Chains A and B, each alone.
Chain A
């Protein structure tokens, strides 16, 4: 089955720790995205990548880092510099996007809680 997987589903972090969220897709999509979702708010873009070895900051990149060493993988690291990391994190991918629009395919999400 083609799709996007995220792991783990739930993650608990102590203050001061870095944690890495996994995102893998087997859809052969070029672009991948990381969003953060907080209660009552829309999805906010953290980072995105159009191609391997290239990525761009989104609207709320501070305290996060990413890598794109393989087309199918786009891990997100939540660093200790992120002041309020408790949230629901969503990974998405799309075929080569353009102005005509491309739907984004989302993973099941990772819920991160800081203890």
Chain B
């Protein structure tokens, strides 16, 4: 079955460092991957989308890579700030209905 997996361990990082999160997928080839941010008790908010023919995408301090050989996407937060503390979800779809399959998310905690 199609699976999308994220590291379930929380990532504790010091302010100013780069946080790197991993998203791995198995048994399918997604046309794109999406990354969302979710704060406690709130709905996810879309951050970035990267397509299978793109190696890297950037938005301000965020960077996403997509390696179809490794079946993996990496999500980087550079110069991290305490306000970046949240859970980050990756999601993908292979159908035209737009149904997304979500990973369980990785919690990031940035300490001053």
Contacts and interface: CB of A to CB of B under 8 A. Distances in A.
Interface of A: 4, 31, 33, 35, 40-45, 48, 50, 56, 58, 88, 90, 92, 94, 97-109, 111
Given A33-B100, A43-B100, A101-B32, 10 more contacts: A31-B98, A40-B8, A42-B105, A43-B89, A48-B97, A97-B96, A98-B96, A101-B93, A104-B34, A104-B46
Contacts of A111: 41
Which of B34, B42, B98 gathers the greatest number of chain A CB atoms within 10 Å? B98
A103 B43 contact: no
B45 A101 contact: no
24 contacts: A4-B43, A31-B97, A41-B104, A42-B4, A42-B89, A42-B105, A43-B44, A43-B89, A43-B102, A48-B98, A50-B97, A58-B99, A90-B43, A97-B97, A98-B98, A99-B31, A99-B96, A100-B31, A101-B51, A103-B34, A104-B100, A106-B45, A108-B43, A109-B42
